[in-house]
Amino acid sequence: MTRLSTVLLTLAVSGLSQALRFLGRVNPATRELTWPATGVSFSFTGTSASVAVTSISGTNSVELLIDGGTPIIIENVNGTSISTPSLVRGHHTVQLRKRSETVYGTFTLGDVNIIRGSLGADSISRRRIQIIGDSISVGYGLDGTYPCTNSAFLENAPKTYGALTAKNLSAEFDILAWSGIGLIRNTIGSSDPVLMPQLWTRYGTNDEDNSYPFPKAETPDIVVINLGTNDFSYLGVRDPVNATMLTDGMIAFAETIRGHYPNAELFLTSSPMLSDTYPTAEDAQHTTHVSVLNAAAEKLGSKAHVVDFPTQGSEVGCDYHPNAAEHEKMAAILTSAIQEVMW
C-alpha cells in the first residue's frame, strides 16, 4: 500500500518536470524571466492552474494565453503566484509570457500547481526563430499612441513583428532585445557600455557575459538581426555613424552567430524608424542602412538575406516607435521573406 503510493507520487512529479517548458531564453538555474516574451508553457486537465512567483523586482507586465484565446493582460505582476481564472473542467493549454523588458523589471518562477487535476504534455514546434534587436524588437511603446510615456504596460513583446512572424510560421521564438542598444554604439544619451554582441552571450540579461551555453534544443533555424537604428542616432551629440564600421560590425557579429549556428539562415533587416528625410536628406539614413545590410549580406554569402522594412507611417506608438498595426505590416514582410527562402 505504502509502496504503491510512493510509485504514483514519483510518476506524478517526473511528469510535471517534463511538461513544464520555458519559452524564450530562460536560465533554468535561476528561472528568472528577463528577455522580452520569455515565459512558460504547459497543458493541464482540470479547472485551474497557477504558476508560483518566487521573487519580483521592478514592474513586470505579462500576458496569459489560455487555449489560444484572447490574452489576459496583467499590468504588473504582484503576489506569490499567477493563476488562470476558473475554467470549464477539461484539457487546457496555458502560455504565460512577459510583455515588458528587463529595464522595467524581472521576476522568477516556481512550480506549476494544478487545482484538482493533472499536468499534460506540451507541444513544441521543430522550427525556431531567434530575433536580435533593439526597442523595435522589444515592442517598446507598441500599445501606446503618440505622444505617450512608455511603460512596462505599454510594451508588448508578444505583439511584435518577431512574435507575429513566428506565429505565422508555427515556430518557437526567442527575442533577444534591449531598448537603446546598438551594434557598434548605443543610442545617444545612453551611458550603458554593453552592445548587443556582448549582451547576446548572456543566458538571462542579468547573468554574466558568456553564460549562455547554446543548448542544442534551442538552436534556431533562422536568426533575424534588426540593429542599426540606435547606431544611426547622432544629431547634436556625435558624428554620423561610419557606414564602413557599421558594415564590419554586422559582418563580425553575424560570423560569431554562425560560429554557434552554422546552418541558420540570417535575415538582416532595415529599420522602419529610419527615414531618408530625417534628420537630413543628405544623411538618407534608411537608404544608407539598407546599403550597409546589402554590403554585409554580400560578404556573408548565400545564407544571408536583407529584409527592407519601409519607413513607417505617421501613426506611431510612444517615442515614435512602431505601433501594433506597423508591427503587423512588418510581420507580413518578414514572413514572406522567410517563406521565399525556406518552409
Ligand X SMILES: *[C@@H]1O[C@H](CO)[C@@H](O)[C@H](O)[C@H]1NC(C)=O
Amino acid at 138: V
Determine, following the binding rule CB under 6 A, whether residue 341 of this chain makes contact with ligand X.
Answer: no
Determine, following the binding rule CB under 6 A, whether residue 331 of this chain makes contact with ligand X.
Answer: yes
Determine, following the binding rule CB under 6 A, whether residue 328 of this chain makes contact with ligand X.
Answer: yes
C-beta closer to ligand X: residue 118 or 125: 125
The DSSP letter of residue 240 is: P
Does residue 111 contact residue 31 with C-beta atoms inside 8 Å?
no
Among 65, 87, 194, 245, binds ligand X (CB under 6 A): 245
95: which strand partners? 41, 65
Strand order in the sheet with 128-133: 172-177, 128-133, 222-226, 265-269, 304-307
Among 16, 20, 52, 74, binds ligand X (CB under 6 A): 74
C-beta closer to ligand X: residue 141 or 249: 249
Quick one: which segment of 51-59, 139-147, 170-178, 238-246 binds ligand X (CB under 6 A)? 238-246
Please give the grid coordinates belonging to residue 19.
Answer: 511538461
Burial of residue 27 (CB within 10 Å: 0-12, 13-18, 19+) is buried
Shortest distance in whole angstroms from residue 296 CB to ligand X: 14
Quote the strand ranges of the chain, DSSP E.
Answer: 21-23, 32-33, 39-46, 48-58, 62-66, 72-74, 81-83, 90-98, 105-115, 118-120, 128-133, 172-177, 222-226, 265-269, 304-307
Backbone angles phi, psi at 256, to 5 degrees: -65, -45
Does residue 127 contact residue 221 with C-beta atoms inside 8 Å?
yes
CB atoms near residue 163 (< 10 Å): 24
- If DSSP codes are grouped into helix, strand and coil, which group holds residue 269? strand
Please give the grid coordinates belonging to residue 118.
Answer: 493533472
Determine, following the binding rule CB under 6 A, whether residue 168 of this chain makes contact with ligand X.
Answer: yes
Angle between helix axes 161-168 and 324-341 (nearest 10 degrees) is 50
C-beta closer to ligand X: residue 179 or 247: 247
CB atoms near residue 148 (< 10 Å): 15
Shortest distance in whole angstroms from residue 242 CB to ligand X: 4
Determine, following the binding rule CB under 6 A, whether residue 274 of this chain makes contact with ligand X.
Answer: no
Determine, following the binding rule CB under 6 A, whether residue 170 of this chain makes contact with ligand X.
Answer: no
Determine, following the binding rule CB under 6 A, whether residue 72 of this chain makes contact with ligand X.
Answer: no
d(CA 179, CA 196): 10
Quick one: which segment of 139-147, 171-179, 262-270, 327-335 binds ligand X (CB under 6 A)? 327-335
Amino acid at 195: L
Shortest distance in whole angstroms from residue 326 CB to ligand X: 11
Determine, following the binding rule CB under 6 A, whether residue 244 of this chain makes contact with ligand X.
Answer: yes
Determine, following the binding rule CB under 6 A, whether residue 164 of this chain makes contact with ligand X.
Answer: yes
C-beta closer to ligand X: residue 119 or 334: 334
Among 242, 256, 277, 280, binds ligand X (CB under 6 A): 242
Shortest distance in whole angstroms from residue 239 CB to ligand X: 7
Among 18, 55, 57, 78, binds ligand X (CB under 6 A): 78
Please give the grid coordinates belonging to residue 87.
Answer: 475554467
Shortest distance in whole angstroms from residue 236 CB to ligand X: 18
C-beta closer to ligand X: residue 2 or 239: 239
C-beta closer to ligand X: residue 164 or 273: 164
Q: Single out the residue of 150, 22, 174, 170 nearest to residue 96, CA to CA.
A: 22
Determine, following the binding rule CB under 6 A, whether residue 335 of this chain makes contact with ligand X.
Answer: yes
Q: How many residues bind ligand X (CB under 6 A)?
A: 14
Quick one: which segment of 170-178, 224-232, 274-282, 324-332 binds ligand X (CB under 6 A)? 324-332
C-beta closer to ligand X: residue 215 or 310: 310
Determine, following the binding rule CB under 6 A, whether residue 80 of this chain makes contact with ligand X.
Answer: no
Residues at the site binding ligand X, with contacts judged by CB under 6 A: 74-75, 78-79, 164, 168, 242, 244-245, 328, 331-332, 335-336
